[in-house]
């Protein structure tokens, strides 16, 4: 009896089982069945794609085959011509041994190999192949699944293993209740697994994938529905601001009027915090839409009600900046308990991992005693020895870097579950919000405060003579008018390690290169050698300092590995206008707010993600000055750069978020583990599968309402638990 949890080592040969485990972390029958084909070939597929250097996997028929003795060596070589009816290709084996009897005229096989050229003709030299007659047990199929190679196991070996496993597995537990399968017209799991691994038609594949997508969406939505239910049952303290208190005093001295959106969200937050069920709200709004003020007002309401508020930021730079700007906005309201402070003032305390022991001890005391009404910090806030006097509200800035568990860890620090507000500047398409933040309500700030100037973005191909120098001259011109500039690089340059905070993308031209259908890594096309090393903060800084065009300007560096005080000092000096040009990594990506900065240059911009570039450029154009963003790349000057052109072409964050999503593996966006095949969403496409996600959400709600603990849905319960475990594991790994 085999089930999906049976170890592969019990089913397959030792060699194969070991290969699957070491190369792809596939160790059970279920893991293997979750390793789905990357595409399907039809037996009529053609060889048209063959070109020198490309790796092809194609079905073809042997047209002629001859063996002949070689002059220089002993043994015979075999030369064959294979065809798909539209095109011929030569196939050569330097030893005919073992092939003669198989590659005979008329034989049809699946061939895989790298195309080379010999005597000006394309050829496949000793390709891997599998005769269709062997490989399908003689059964004629209309579609042939092509799997990505597993170590040196070719696609047909994977196929054999998958079939073996499928044959031995006569039943597999169903996680989706039958009524739902009927209602949504979905096939059962067993049929879907067969449809994915041994289909006859593309329609069959599509129906099978639809069912698997639904399952993924459904499991996720059940987990979220359970979370929502638990949240709704929680009770906490209602937090209402004291009339004539801190919030009123702050409102009274705001130097601007809140936008209609800010007011509306403010009302919503106040109403939710005034209930005795904890708030769980996501606030999204473009960079610069004024989320921080909205959050600060909620924090002041929490302090007014006698509690504390914590603001969690993803980086030290951002935490320090929030601390600085909140303190500045509050003025004497932030001097509670001090001489000259306002009578209802509070204190704003910073807590980060790299603070000195003394400063840290003081901060911890203020937090524990409640003297600090507002606490701003990084991950350090989540650590065990931080205890709050009465944590009423948790604000998480830039959520995409925090997991659900991190939110929970901070929630766990409160006597009563705190209200939670999550802010994100990455616009989140609706279905993604339903998937990733499915346990939260969403508010959106859609208008920018007035006085925002437009940002112009240009793509700068470094290879065009003079363009890069022109870029530096632009910076000099802006600085001559009293403005400031950012230059962002993907690396620090101390050694070869990229900055931890930067996610570096492969160059676009090499994006297809991971198509290794073949054996042992020789699959994809070789990456073109990069024209130069990736730009580093240190190297670019040195160049700029030596550049006569920038003479007399103060140019400094900023990156994640600088000591905290230095980072903080440079950021403050930049904010004060004492530094003209800041050469940095993406530490300045989120939230940094220096209105006087008007230009941003991004080096090797093609190596950044679309949303990240959009975030980055949101740092300029904030102070009523028109912003300029120059995206420098070292690639071919006239080659299209889809990502860069997209960013240059629009400032619509939603549109860019969609493009960004389409370009990545969706599992990665959802923040699930890179490891563990099953923790990723394999089938579900969060952008295209909107109907499916909606349906799954409805069904999940029904199931959870009737059976909150899933006692009558054991398989579903197991999958939900596995999913939650995988998320927790991912969180622990990220630390």
* Positions that interact with Mg ion (CB under 5 A): 292, 591
Residue 516 backbone phi and psi in degrees, to 5: -85, 85
Question: Looking at 585-678, which runs of residues are DSSP E strands?
Answer: 597-602, 627-633
CB of 290 to Mg ion, least distance (A): 8
Nearer to Mg ion, 345 or 591 (CB): 591
How far is it, in rounded angstroms, from Cα 54 to Cα 177?
46
Q: How many CA atoms does the CB half-sphere of 344 hold within 13 Å?
A: 16
CB of 262 to Mg ion, least distance (A): 13
Nearer to ligand ADP, 291 or 641 (CB): 291
Q: Which does 285 bind (CB under 5 to 8 A by kind): Mg ion, ligand ADP, none?
A: ligand ADP
Q: Which does 289 bind (CB under 5 to 8 A by kind): ligand ADP, Mg ion, none?
A: ligand ADP
Nearer to ligand ADP, 56 or 571 (CB): 571
Q: Which does 213 bind (CB under 5 to 8 A by kind): ligand ADP, Mg ion, none?
A: none
SS3 138: coil
Closest CA to 628 of 501, 489, 487: 487
Closest CA to 266 of 250, 288, 253, 244: 250
Nearer to Mg ion, 149 or 395 (CB): 395
Nearer to Mg ion, 238 or 258 (CB): 258
CB of 290 to ligand ADP, least distance (A): 3
Nearer to Mg ion, 426 or 431 (CB): 426
Nearer to ligand ADP, 288 or 667 (CB): 288
Q: Which does 484 bind (CB under 5 to 8 A by kind): Mg ion, ligand ADP, none?
A: none
CB of 464 to ligand ADP, least distance (A): 34
* Token reading at 612: 């990240």
Q: Which does 287 bind (CB under 5 to 8 A by kind): ligand ADP, Mg ion, none?
A: ligand ADP
The secondary structure of residue 550, as a DSSP letter, is: G
Nearer to Mg ion, 127 or 591 (CB): 591
Helices (H), 147-188: 155-168, 178-183
CB of 559 to ligand ADP, least distance (A): 22
Among all residues, whose Cβ is closest to Mg ion? Answer: 591
Closest CA to 319 of 293, 342, 289, 349: 349
Q: Which does 592 bind (CB under 5 to 8 A by kind): Mg ion, ligand ADP, none?
A: none
Residues that bind ligand ADP (CB under 6 A): 256, 258-259, 262, 285, 287-293, 425, 449, 591, 593, 622
Q: Which does 245 bind (CB under 5 to 8 A by kind): ligand ADP, Mg ion, none?
A: none
CB of 191 to Mg ion, least distance (A): 49
Q: Which does 290 bind (CB under 5 to 8 A by kind): ligand ADP, Mg ion, none?
A: ligand ADP
CB of 35 to ligand ADP, least distance (A): 42
How far is it, in rounded angstroms, from Cα 692 to Cα 42?
28
How far is it, in rounded angstroms, from Cα 733 to Cα 735?
5
Residue 373 backbone phi and psi in degrees, to 5: -75, -35
Q: Which does 30 bind (CB under 5 to 8 A by kind): Mg ion, ligand ADP, none?
A: none
Closest CA to 135 of 123, 146, 124: 146
CB of 721 to ligand ADP, least distance (A): 37
How far is it, in rounded angstroms, from Cα 32 to Cα 678?
10
**Distant-in-sequence, close-in-space partners of 116: CB < 8 Å, separation ≥ 6:** 52, 53, 122, 123, 124, 125
Nearer to ligand ADP, 449 or 637 (CB): 449
Q: Which does 632 bind (CB under 5 to 8 A by kind): Mg ion, ligand ADP, none?
A: none
**Distant-in-sequence, close-in-space partners of 305: CB < 8 Å, separation ≥ 6:** 237, 238, 239, 240, 241, 242, 392
**Distant-in-sequence, close-in-space partners of 214: CB < 8 Å, separation ≥ 6:** 176, 184, 186, 692, 695, 696
Beta pairing, strands 308-312 & 391-397: parallel
**Distant-in-sequence, close-in-space partners of 549: CB < 8 Å, separation ≥ 6:** 469, 472, 473, 476
CB of 287 to ligand ADP, least distance (A): 5
CB of 350 to ligand ADP, least distance (A): 17
Nearer to ligand ADP, 197 or 322 (CB): 322
């Amino acid at each position: 009896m085999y089930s999906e949890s049976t170890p592969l080592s019990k089913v397959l040969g030792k060699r194969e089982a070991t290969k699957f485990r070491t190369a792809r972390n596939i160790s059970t029958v279920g893991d293997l069945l979750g390793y789905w084909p990357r595409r399907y070939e039809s037996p009529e597929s053609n060889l048209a794609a063959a070109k020198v250097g490309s790796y092809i996997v194609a079905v073809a028929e042997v047209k002629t085959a001859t063996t002949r003795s070689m002059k220089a060596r002993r043994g015979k070589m075999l030369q064959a011509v294979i065809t798909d009816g539209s095109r011929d290709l030569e196939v050569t084996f330097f030893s005919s041994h073992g092939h003669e009897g198989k590659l005979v005229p008329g034989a049809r096989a699946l061939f895989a190999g790298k195309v080379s050229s010999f005597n000006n003709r394309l050829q496949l030299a000793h390709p891997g192949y599998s005769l269709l007659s062997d490989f399908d047990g003689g059964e004629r199929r209309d579609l042939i699944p092509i799997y990505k190679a597993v170590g040196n196991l070719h696609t047909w070996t994977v196929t054999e293993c998958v079939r073996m496993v499928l044959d031995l597995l006569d039943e597999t537990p169903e996680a989706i209740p039958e009524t739902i399968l009927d209602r949504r017209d979905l096939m059962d799991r067993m049929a879907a697994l067969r449809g994915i691994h041994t289909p006859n038609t593309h329609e069959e594949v599509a129906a099978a994938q639809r069912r698997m997508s639904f399952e993924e969406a459904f499991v996720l939505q059940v987990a979220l529905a359970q979370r929502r239910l638990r949240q709704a049952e929680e009770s906490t303290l209602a937090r209402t601001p004291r009339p004539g208190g801190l919030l009123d005093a702050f409102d009274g001295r705001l130097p601007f009027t809140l936008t209609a959106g800010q007011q509306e969200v403010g009302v919503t937050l106040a109403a939710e915090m005034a209930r005795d069920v904890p708030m769980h709200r996501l606030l999204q709004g473009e960079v610069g839409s004024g989320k921080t003020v909205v959050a600060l007002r909620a924090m002041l309401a929490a302090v007014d009600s006698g509690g504390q508020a914590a603001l969690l930021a993803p980086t030290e730079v951002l935490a320090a900046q929030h601390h600085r700007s909140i303190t500045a906005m509050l003025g004497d309201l932030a001097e509670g308990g001090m001489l000259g402070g306002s009578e209802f003032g509070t204190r704003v305390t910073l807590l980060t991992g790299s603070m000195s022991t003394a400063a840290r001890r003081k901060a911890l005391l203020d937090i524990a005693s409640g003297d600090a009404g507002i606490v701003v910090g990084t991950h350090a806030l989540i650590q065990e020895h931080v205890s709050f006097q009465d944590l009423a509200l948790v604000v998480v800035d830039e959520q995409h870097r925090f997991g659900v568990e991190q939110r929970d860890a901070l929630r766990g620090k409160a006597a009563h579950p705190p209200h939670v507000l999550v802010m994100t500047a990455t616009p989140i398409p609706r279905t993604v919000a339903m998937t990733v933040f499915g346990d939260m309500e969403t508010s959106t700030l859609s208008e920018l405060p007035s006085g925002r100037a437009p940002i112009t973005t240009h793509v700068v191909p470094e290879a065009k003579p003079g363009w890069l120098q022109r870029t530096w001259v632009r910076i000099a011109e802006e600085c001559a008018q009293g403005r400031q500039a950012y230059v962002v690089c993907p690396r620090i340059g101390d050694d070869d390690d990229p900055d931890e905070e930067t996610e570096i993308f492969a160059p676009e031209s090499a994006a297809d290169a991971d198509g290794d259908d073949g054996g042992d890594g020789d699959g994809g096309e070789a990456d073109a050698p990069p024209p130069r090393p990736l730009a580093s903060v240190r190297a670019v800084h040195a160049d700029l300092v030596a550049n006569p065009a920038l003479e007399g300007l103060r140019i400094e560096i900023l990156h994640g590995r600088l000591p905290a005080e230095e980072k903080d000092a440079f950021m403050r000096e930049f904010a004060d206008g004492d530094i003209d040009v800041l050469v940095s990594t993406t530490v300045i990506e989120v939230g940094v707010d220096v209105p006087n900065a008007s230009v941003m240059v991004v080096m090797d911009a093609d190596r950044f993600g679309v949303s990240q570039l959009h975030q980055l450029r949101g740092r300029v154009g904030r102070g009523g000055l028109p912003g300029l963003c120059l995206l420098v790349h070292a690639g071919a000057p006239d080659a299209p750069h889809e990502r860069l052109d997209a960013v240059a072409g629009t400032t619509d964050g939603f549109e860019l978020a969609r493009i960004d999503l389409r370009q990545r593996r969706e599992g990665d966006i959802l923040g699930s583990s890179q490891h563990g095949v099953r923790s990723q969403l394999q089938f579900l496409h969060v952008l295209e599968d909107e109907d499916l996600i909606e349906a799954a959400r409805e069904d999940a709600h029904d199931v959870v309402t009737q059976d909150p603990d899933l006692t009558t849905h054991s398989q579903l319960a197991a999958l939900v638990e596995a999913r939650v475990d995988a998320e927790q594991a991912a969180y622990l790994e990220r630390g």
